[in-house]
Amino acid sequence: MHPLPHQYDVVARGGPTGLLSIEAANLPTLEATAPSQFGGPGNVWSPEALLVASVASCFILTFDTIAELSRLPWIEIACPTEGVLELADGKRRFTRFFLRPTLKLPQGTDAKKAEHLLHKAEERCLITASLSSSVSLSASIEFADGTAS
Chain segment 47-77, per-residue pLDDT in tens: 999 999 999 999 999 999 999 999 999 999 9
**DSSP state for residue 38 in the 8-state scheme:** G
Burial class (CB in 10 A: 0-12, 13-18, 19+), 114: buried
Query: Alpha-carbon distance 82 to 97, whole Å?
Result: 6
Provide the CATH number for the domain formed by 46-143 in this structure.
3.30.300.20
Assign 110 a pLDDT band (cuts: 50, 70, 90).
very high
> What is the overall mean pLDDT for the chain?
96
**What backbone phi and psi angles, to 5 degrees, belong to 62?**
-65, -45
Q: What is the distance between the alpha carbons of residues 128 and 119, in angstroms, rounded to a whole number?
A: 13
